Every structure is written in structure tokens, then in C-alpha cells.
Structure 1
Amino acid sequence: MRTAYALPAATISFLASSAPAYADLKLCNRMSYVVEVAIGIDDKAATATRGWFRIDPAACRVVAQGTLTADRILLHARALGVYGSSPVPQSGNDTLCIAPDNFVIAAARQCRGGQTPAPFTQVNPTKTDDGHLVAYLAEGSEYDDEQARLAGIQRLLVIAGYDAAPIDGVDGPKTQGALAAFLKTRGLAAEVVQSPKFFATMIDAVQSPSTTGLTWCNDTPHKIMAAVGTDDGKTVISRGWYRIDPGKCLHPDVSGQPKQIFSFAEAVDGENRALKFRERPLNWGGTTQLCTRESKFEVNDQNDCGNRGLNPTGFTAVDMSSGGKTLRFAMP
């Protein structure tokens, strides 16, 4: 089973203070990721969940309208698949049911077919002057709205193959140069940057084939989890998992100038279990053995995988001599 939600060093917090719940509930995103959020409403003996609500960096969204009489409000957040393994840690104390696509689950403590358990975090939103109850999703960087938006743009520029690092929410010539190159390549006017749909435009670009770097494209009806390996001549590093939704493309974040790149991908079901087609695993790999594990990983020692609790996995070498390579995963 491949775990789509993994925990990096960065943290997420829900910034809020205690207030009675009696108005619309609004969530505001001060992270550098476009996220999808599910909410849990715990009311006496019944607990219901609902999702997904997509929220761009520096944007807010009402996720529950009307008078809220819930005993507790809980949240679960995930980043879009374009960011690879979810950079949003899931460390809540409540385990409730979610579904892969938009859902409403009335009895969310007992998962049924097509539903999976997920950790939810309790929040106590703040009442604002306009009558809303607001909770903020925040990173350890503690961005304000302006910084979160710029950091979100920087992050997607880097994924799309433009040099906008470091991702820090601080503007400068490097970020502006990368943004200008992105706009020129895509034939976009500078004014589009201020559009409410700019993050959707950037994500469409990231999920399209690129003439530079490695691109994975999923031409199957299944979700695909992928891993990448890089060899800089000294160390071979394997890293995964990246989620690629059906009909989408993704650029794994490969830094530096590796001498060789390797790829492995496999189709999974709604519970991230490897799929088979005609009794054979539905995957795309090769003969180069690199180490992987079930959840998010980054491994820089490829020796003796099995005895170290890792899985030896066959990767294929990718010919990057032309400067860019698109691997399309299709049904046999």
C-alpha cells in the first residue's frame, strides 16, 4: 500500500482562539500550498464529515453556513497531488472517515466501502466582526497573506521547472525573473498574476507536459503513485511517493544536475493498494534496483534494502539527453 499522506519536517497548525460556534465557518489558507480540506462536525452522539474544499494560498472559503451547534469542529487537510507526497502532516487525535472525491458521510466513525480513516484535528475558530467564525491553516514559516501567496507562486514555479528558490515568500529579482519566464512561455499577460484563478492557471501548467526536466503523465483511469531516483555521480537518492491523478501530468522536484534519473510508478486503488491487470502488477519500472518504502521516503543508501526494512524496487533509467523527457503511463 502506498501512503499518499506523509510527514515532512514542516508543520501545519490551525491558528485559532476559543469562541462559541454560532455563525458561518470560514477557513483561510496561510500556507504555500493549494490545499483541499475536509471538515468534521461532532454533535452529541453523531459525527459527520464533508469534503473536499479547495483553498488557494492567501484565500478564504466558507465551509459551513448557518448556525453551528456542534460540540466540536474538526479539520483534515491535504495538499494537491502536484506537490508530490502530501506536505501536510496529519497528526490529529480523532480518526474519521473520508472519501477520495467530494463526499458527505453522515456516520463518520465507522468507515464503509470506498471510505478510509484519516486523522482530524479539533479547532476552536475565532469570531470576526462580520459574524464569521474563522480558522487559519498555517505553516511553521508563519506567513501572512501576502507572503503565503508569493511563497505559493514560488513553489509552483519551482515544480514547473523555473528557478524561484528559495521558497520564502520574499520577492526579488530571481522570483520576478522566473515568473516573467513562466508568463512568456505560457503566452500570458502580466495582469493574470492578480487574477483569482492564477493558481489554477499555474497548476494546469504544472500538470502539462514540459520540454524541460522529467514529466510523468497518467493516461490510465487509475490513480498512480510514482517515485524518482537521481544519481549525481556520488550518491544515488530515491524519493517518493508522488500522486498522479488520471488524465494529469506531474513534474517531480529534481534539483541540481544529476547524471542519471530513474523512474518507477504503479497504479493503486482508492485505498492505495497496488493494482493488477490480467493477473500482473500494473506498474512501470525497470531493472535498476533502488530502495523504497510504503510511506513517504527519501533514501540515499541503495545497498541491502531488504535487511534495512526497505523494499528493493525495479526502476527504469530515463534518457534525459534531449533536456526533457515525458513518460506516459497507459494501460497495456
Structure 2
Amino acid sequence: MRLILLSILVFVAGAGGASAKYSFCNKSSYALSAAIGYVDGDRLATRGWWRLRPGQCKVVLTEQAKPGKYFVYAEAIPGHKGPLRTWSGDTALCVENNGFFNLRNQDVCRGDPMRQRKFFNVEVTEAAGGNWQTDFTEASTYTVYSAEVAGVQRLLSDIGIDAGAVDGAMGRETQRALANYRKEKGLPEGYNIDDELIDALIEDANAREAKLGFFYCNKTDNAVWSAIAEPEDEESYRSKGWWKIEPGDCAKIIKGSLEKDHYYVYGLIEAPAGDRSIAGGDKSFCVNIVMFNAANDLSCADQELEEAEFRRIEIGGAESVTFDFTPEMFAAPPPEAPAQTQ
């Protein structure tokens, strides 16, 4: 799940007063989920998720955009093929992983990296007059309209339909693919693009992706801190963590169709009697006490990381696999010290 980071900011100066606002504009070929962080009184608040179709602009704060620092984050919907695409920075703030949220307490995600995202900073100026717009863009420069076309081309490709290159141009291949898809979904005939079409494509792409990938499920009675090591080529691996999985929950660790024939898994239970790591490890990889993403071309010591024994899992040619953490997989807790007698 290599992250691709790209942040481009644009402000729009305008009249203050009742019309003042903060807007997001998606000028990329990806459907996005976006969030914002801002100072609310004496606290730092975060709010999201707003779904932004390709080419869509949306007001996210109706109050005047005050001069000073804001924080913005966006990520592509899971249905897009390839590694997760994000527009992010260095400031870790709290989010909810599902549904709309409005958080005014940044302590709620302390110690849980799965509920944190790294936002980029936006400096709103006095000259903006209370109006500010952040554009999410790509290396390819799209207008609002061409971003919408490119987004539909990408979504069609995500569900296995050839619509030509993702270039934002409404060529014959794109028109033909759109007409066929609209007919298949029972939408009005033609090759026009509207919200109903894009939403149907997003739903289909997300449904396809939901069936693919590497999943962890926690079948124990304790929270499991999990990590994975993924082959990059014949000799090199990359270890990543942490995903905190509560008892009875599951988490997707790798998105998309799996391309390797094996992976290495690791889990750690924090218990009052002491930490218990997964037993039966086959190979050492680097870990850290906080989130990590480490290659094995350098020693863990050279990277100022620790080592842990991961367990090898063969998956053959499966596109998707679920690994269950069960109680018997973990090392036994250390024996209790005998009671002291007076």
C-alpha cells in the first residue's frame, strides 16, 4: 500500500460576509473522500468525509475562512485500482474511518494509527476576503469538465471496461463505453455524464475492490496490533504496520488483487501479564513502536528499528485471502511471579 502524496493549493479571493466560505474542488481523475482540520475556539477540530466526484466542487465550511492555518486531507476511494492515492502532508489528525464525522477532541485517536491521517497545511491569507478554495489536482492538468471525463474513464477501467486512455477527452471509445454501460445499468440512453452515472460507477468499483486483497481478522479476546511483510522482488521485502484490530473485527491490509505467492504476517497482543507475539516465525523483519514502513535492504539497527519474527503464509495464486489471528497462535503469557510471604 505504497502512498502517493501530492498537494496543490489554490485560493480564491472574494467578498467577505455572508458569502464567505471554504470549498474543495476535485480537479483530478479520482473520486475522493476529503476532510478538513481547523481551529475551533481553543481546540483543533476535524470534519469529514465529503465525497467528491471527479470534477465536483463543494462547500465544506459555510463560515468565513479566517486568516491562519487550516489542515486538509483527501484519499481516493478504495475502488480505484493500484496503491492508495492520497493528498496529504505531515500533520497527524483524528478521523473516523466510516461515515461523516465532526471531532473536537484530538485525544480520541491517541495510540490508534488506524484513526489518524496526515493532513497538509493550508495558510489562509487576509487577502482572500473570507473565501478559500483548495484544489485537488494531478500531474495532468484538468479543468472541472475534463476531470469529470477523466474520472469516468478511470472508473470504467477500474471495473474492467475499456474506455480508452484516461485523458479527459470524450473520444469515440469513451462514448461507446459510456453508452454500453448506461444501457447495462438501465440508465437513459446516450453517453452523457451525470451524477447518477458516476455514483453507479463508484458503487461498482467499490464492490469489486471489496472482494479483493489481504485481510486480517481477530478471533482472539484481545486487541491485536498487526503488521505484514510483502515481497517487492525475489530478494527484497517491505514490512509495514501497525493495524490495531479489535476482537471480532477485520481489516484490509493490502488492497486490490494479490500478485505474490506468499506474505509474512505478524501480530502482537498487549495483555496485563505482558506482550504476546505470534509464534512460529520464519523470518525477521523490521518493526517500530509507532507506524513504520521499512525495507529490508538495510539492517534494522541501521534504520533505528527493532526486529520481530514474522510467519510465512503461502497463498498460491489467490486474488484474495483472509488470515485469522487465533488465541493459540500467540506465545504463552509469562508465568506469574510467586506471591511474596512476610
**CA separation of 1:114/1:87 partners in 2, compared to 1, >3 Å: closer, same or farther?**
closer
SS in structure 2 opposite 1:306? coil
Match runs of 1:59-70 below 5 Å: 59-65=56-62, 67-68=63-64, 70=66
**CA separation of 1:249/1:297 partners in 2, compared to 1, >3 Å: closer, same or farther?**
closer
2:238 & 2:10 partners in 1: Cα distance? 35
Tell me the residue number matched to 1:229: 230
SS in structure 1 opposite 2:87? coil
Q: Do 1:34 and 1:152's aligned partners in 2 also have CA atoms closer than 8 Å?
A: no
Q: Which amino acid aligns with 1:321?
A: G
Tell me the residue number matched to 1:71: 67
1:285 & 1:85 partners in 2: Cα distance? 31
1:288 & 1:30 partners in 2: Cα distance? 44
Question: Could you state the TM-score of these two structures normalised by the residue count of structure 2?
Answer: 0.60
Tell me the residue number matched to 2:312: 317
Tell me the residue number matched to 2:198: 195
1:265 & 1:190 partners in 2: Cα distance? 46
Q: Which amino acid aligns with 1:135?
A: T
1:201 & 1:223 partners in 2: Cα distance? 32
Q: Which amino acid aligns with 1:90?
A: G
Q: CA deviation at 1:326?
A: 0.8
State the percentage of identical aligned residues. 9
Correspondent of 1:287 among 265, 282, 288 = 282
2:47 & 2:12 partners in 1: Cα distance? 23
Tell me the residue number matched to 2:334: none
Q: Which amino acid aligns with 1:61?
A: K
Q: Do 1:238 and 1:292's aligned partners in 2 also have CA atoms closer than 8 Å?
A: no
**CA separation of 1:73/1:81 partners in 2, compared to 1, >3 Å: closer, same or farther?**
same
Q: Which amino acid aligns with 1:204?
A: A
Tell me the residue number matched to 2:37: 39
**CA separation of 1:169/1:138 partners in 2, compared to 1, >3 Å: closer, same or farther?**
same
RMSD between superposed Cα atoms in Å: 5.0
Question: Could you state the TM-score of these two structures normalised by the residue count of structure 1?
Answer: 0.61
Q: Do 1:16 and 1:134's aligned partners in 2 also have CA atoms closer than 8 Å?
A: yes
Match runs of 1:92-241 below 5 Å: 98-100=94-96, 103-105=101-103, 111-114=106-109, 119=119, 121-124=121-124, 134-145=133-144, 146-147=146-147, 150=150, 154=154, 169=167, 189=185, 194-208=197-211, 210=212, 214-218=213-217, 226-230=227-231, 232-233=233-234, 235-241=235-241
**CA separation of 1:308/1:60 partners in 2, compared to 1, >3 Å: closer, same or farther?**
same
SS in structure 2 opposite 1:205? helix
Does residue 304 of the first structure (1) align with residue 302 of the second (2)? no
Higher mean C-alpha deviation, range 81-90 or range 20-29 = 81-90
**CA separation of 1:232/1:90 partners in 2, compared to 1, >3 Å: closer, same or farther?**
closer
Correspondent of 1:276 among 270, 274, 278 = 270
2:157 & 2:227 partners in 1: Cα distance? 21
Report Cα offsets for 1:13-64 as digits up to 9, x if no partner. Answer: 122233455424331223436233123146xx75552312232342333322
Aligned residues: 288
**CA separation of 1:292/1:48 partners in 2, compared to 1, >3 Å: closer, same or farther?**
closer
Q: Which amino acid aligns with 2:230?
A: G
Q: Do 1:35 and 1:79's aligned partners in 2 also have CA atoms closer than 8 Å?
A: yes
Report Cα offsets for 1:106-134 as digits up to 9, x if no partner. Answer: 5x7xx44546796552254999xxx9854
Tell me the residue number matched to 1:269: none
Q: Do 1:265 and 1:285's aligned partners in 2 also have CA atoms closer than 8 Å?
A: no
Q: Do 1:291 and 1:305's aligned partners in 2 also have CA atoms closer than 8 Å?
A: yes
1:286 & 1:152 partners in 2: Cα distance? 45
Correspondent of 1:49 among 45, 48, 57 = 45
Q: Do 2:88 and 2:118's aligned partners in 1 also have CA atoms closer than 8 Å?
A: no
Q: Do 2:216 and 2:253's aligned partners in 1 also have CA atoms closer than 8 Å?
A: yes
1:90 & 1:237 partners in 2: Cα distance? 25
Q: Which amino acid aligns with 2:72?
A: H
1:307 & 1:323 partners in 2: Cα distance? 35
Q: CA deviation at 1:77?
A: 0.6
Report Cα offsets for 1:65-108 as digits up to 9, x if no partner. Answer: 3x5263346132142694767733314xxx686344655455x7
**CA separation of 1:88/1:135 partners in 2, compared to 1, >3 Å: closer, same or farther?**
closer
Q: CA deviation at 1:325?
A: 4.4
Structure with more contact order per residue of length (Cα contacts < 8 Å, sep ≥ 6): 1
Report Cα offsets for 1:304-329 as digits up to 9, x if no partner. Answer: 33344244333333323243341234
1:223 & 1:84 partners in 2: Cα distance? 24
1:121 & 1:27 partners in 2: Cα distance? 14
**CA separation of 1:136/1:244 partners in 2, compared to 1, >3 Å: closer, same or farther?**
farther
Q: Do 1:156 and 1:206's aligned partners in 2 also have CA atoms closer than 8 Å?
A: no
Tell me the residue number matched to 2:265: 264
SS in structure 1 opposite 2:199? coil
**CA separation of 1:285/1:206 partners in 2, compared to 1, >3 Å: closer, same or farther?**
farther
Q: Which has the larger radius of gyration?
A: 2
Q: Do 1:239 and 1:292's aligned partners in 2 also have CA atoms closer than 8 Å?
A: yes
